[in-house]
């Protein structure tokens, strides 16, 4: 159950990272357009476009920081989850091996007992048959 919610959170984080990457790509495209327009503009329009360019550049920088942080968090979460899983597997493996060995031993003993019971049953049926035949003869 916990693995499912953890996986859901990781999927959400991955989705958010993809969304941020898309937004970042869009901002970078808008920044290039602004830079081209700023080079061609004159006077007040040039000052205004330069201000917009700075704003867009700061948004791109913030988005890159958020994206880097998010990627690091997801990577850390995956790594810690992998380490916990490996630790659990290392602790469970000896118990599982012991259980399998005990199961094999139990099956072997049960098979021997079944063979002995089968022989006894056959001997009993044979002895009963012979006793019945003797009783009918006498």
* pLDDT, tens only, 73-105: 888 888 888 898 889 888 889 888 999 999 999
pLDDT beyond 90 at 138: no
User: How many whole angstroms separate alpha carbon 116 and alpha carbon 120?
Assistant: 6
Structure token digits, residue 29: 């495209």
How many domains is the chain partitioned into structurally? 1
The answer to whether the CB of 31 falls within 8 A of the CB of 64 is no
- Phi-psi region for residue 42, left (φ > 0), alpha (ψ -120 to 50) or beta? beta
Containing domain of residue 107, as a range? Answer: 2-137
Structure token digits, residue 114: 């079944």
Instruction: Please give the backbone phi and psi of residue 41, each rounded to the nearest 5 degrees, phi first.
Output: -75, 160
What is this structure's pTM?
Answer: 0.46
The answer to whether the CB of 74 falls within 8 A of the CB of 16 is no
Q: What radius of gyration do the chain's Cα atoms show? A: 39
């Amino acid at each position: 159950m916990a693995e499912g919610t953890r996986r859901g959170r990781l999927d959400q984080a991955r989705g958010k990272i993809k969304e941020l990457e898309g937004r970042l790509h869009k901002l970078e495209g808008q920044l290039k357009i602004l830079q081209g327009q700023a080079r061609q503009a004159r006077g007040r329009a040039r000052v205004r476009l330069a201000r917009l360019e700075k704003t867009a550049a700061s948004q791109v920088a913030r988005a890159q920081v958020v994206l880097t942080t998010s990627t690091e968090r997801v990577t850390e979460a995956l790594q810690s989850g992998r380490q916990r899983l490996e630790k659990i597997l290392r602790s469970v493996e000896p118990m599982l091996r012991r259980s399998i060995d005990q199961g094999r031993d139990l099956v072997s003993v049960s098979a021997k007992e079944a063979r002995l019971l089968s022989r006894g049953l056959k001997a009993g049926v044979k002895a009963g048959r012979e006793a019945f035949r003797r009783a009918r003869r006498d």
